[in-house]
Structures are given as structure tokens and as C-alpha cells.
Amino acid sequence: MGVFVERGYAETHVEEIARRAGVAKATIYLYYENKLELFKAVVRNSLVAGFEDLSKTYFVHNLSAREQLTLALSVFMERVAGSALSGIPKLIIAEAGNFPEIARFYYDEVILRVHALLVRVLAEGAGSGEFRHVDSDYVWRIIVAPMLLSIIWKHSFQVFEPEPLDFRRHLAAQLDLLFDGLATDSNKATRPSGSSSA
């Protein structure tokens, strides 16, 4: 993963990956047909597997919609935005135009999973009365947008700021605005003025 993040997809060579892994280039080709298949394996092992973990947590703990949404965004901030994995979404955004095959793969494997998860949670929340009914086919993108902004900021503008982006504060601010926007009229009425939902 490190080579892809550091060099980008175009400038990553299988030889360099093999060298860092301490194996022969031929060994890589025993398992992966080409660089694209190797990249797919990296994404599946580092990002896609996390969705299975989340699903198990929801099922085992029988979480409310609000708890599910908080957990999903918290896990993303901790495991992706705040880690070396943040380079993967940034790489996809930067190189989608030149390499539509990696963008298509990421869309099918990651984005569609995020879409399904968030739309389901929004529907559950609306059904239980936790959330008001919203246009979930568009709201899920608005939920994801601050996450992507944190990644873009980290890799583009953070170097110019005196302090690194505080991902916990970023998430707390997002959750506060998000849950206020999703609250039903009755929930808004009972919520203390100025209180935080995070």
C-alpha cells in the first residue's frame, strides 16, 4: 500500500513493491496477474474488509441507527482518514480521470458499500423515529463529503497550517450538524440549546 500512496498509481512499479516486500518480482506475479490486480487486493484487504467488521458489530450489539452512524463515521476517521490508508481515496480522486478502471473498481467495491450502509441506516432511523425522512439517495453523499474533505485537506493544505487537522474535532463538528439536521421536530424540541450530539 505504501508505494501506491507515496507514488500514485501511475508511478508505482511492481519491482518497487517486490523490493519493499523483500521478494522477487516473479513472486508477485505468482499471485497477481498485473499491477491493477495487485492494487485491487490492497484495497480489498485494507478498506473493504472493514465493512464486514462493521456489519458484525451492528448485528452483535443491536445498535440504534444513531449509534450505527456514529460508529461508521468514527471508524472511518480512525482507520482511514487519520491513518496511512487516507492515501487510497486521495489517490483514486487524483487519478480517476487517467485510470477509469481503478475508479470503477473503487466505485463498485467501496462506494457502493458505503451507499448501501448509509441508506440502510437512514431508513432504519426514519422507521424508528430517530431520524426524520430525508432524500437518502442524496443525503448519503452529504454525509460522506466531510470525510473526503478531511482527507483532501490532510494531503493538500495541512502542510500550510500551524497545527495538523484534529480528526476527532472534525468528526464531532460533523456529527453535531448531522444529527441536528436529521432530528425530527420532536427531537429538536427536547434537545437542550447549544448541546452537542457527538
For residue 80, the one-letter residue type is V
pTM, to two decimals: 0.83
pLDDT at 198: 38
Average of per-residue pLDDT values in the chain: 87
The secondary structure of residue 81, as a DSSP letter, is I
Residue 85's pLDDT is what?
A: 86
Give the tens place of pLDDT for each residue, 142-170.
999 999 999 999 999 999 999 999 999 99
- CA–CA distance from 170 to each of 70, 135, 165, 184 (Å)? 13, 24, 8, 24
Per-residue pLDDT tens digits for 104-130: 999 999 999 999 999 999 999 999 999
Query: Which one, of 16, 40, 31, lies nearest residue 101 by Cα?
Result: 40
User: What is the block-wise mean pLDDT of the chain (198 residues), using blocks of 10 residues?
Assistant: 83 89 88 91 84 69 89 90 89 93 95 93 95 96 95 93 93 96 75 44
- DSSP for 85-143? GGHHHHHHHHHTTT-HHHHHHHIIIIIHHHHHHHHHHHHHHHHHTSS----HHHHHHHH
What pLDDT is stored for residue 185 in this prediction? 79
Residues in Cβ contact with 103 at an 8 Å cutoff, skipping those fewer than 6 apart: 92, 95, 96
What pLDDT shows up at residue 116? 92
Cell numbers 437542550 correspond to 192
